Structure 1
């Protein structure tokens, strides 16, 4: 399973998103330190984020990805939104 698939599976299981995009942006960081660990961007929309501040939303994403941050993810940018009413 690819890292993108693993991220997608974990976020889907934990947060039941209505929208989820996971992009591998490692190509933007070729030659940087920590090469071999991935750089990813996640855009996620989930009802679990309703009423949550952005910091709490990010913590929820990190919790869902527990373990991957130490094993395969070097950098993660997050766009976490609640659905529009």
Structure 2
């Protein structure tokens, strides 16, 4: 299972989102710092879930990082987040 699928699975389990998009943008960063050639280094996530309603922006980002876990966060270089309630 690739990293994009792992991200999707963990976010669905943690937040039961009404909307979720996980895009692998690694190909856009070929040759840049942080691109290790694995084609799984840069991701963009758009997520909407009621669970984020009472959280600050920083709280939402921390919750996503926690849900993804140290293994995924340590394996990727960049994670762009678009978070909505």
1:75 partnered with 2:78: yes
The TM-score normalised by the length of structure 2 is: 0.88
Write out the 4+ residue segments of structure 1 that deviate beyond 3 Å after TM superposition. Answer: none
Matched residue, 1:7: 7
- The CA deviation string for residues 46-79 of structure 1, in whole angstroms up to 9 with x for no partner, is 1110121111111111001112111x21100101
- Structure with more of its chain in helix, by fraction: 2
- Unaligned segments of structure 1, at least 5 residues: none
- Unaligned segments of structure 2, at least 5 residues: none
Aligned residues: 81
- The CA deviation string for residues 12-61 of structure 1, in whole angstroms up to 9 with x for no partner, is 11111110000001111101223235100000001110121111111111
1:34-53 equivalences in 2 (<5 Å): 34-36=34-36, 38-53=41-56
What SS does structure 2 have at the residue aligned with 1:14?
helix
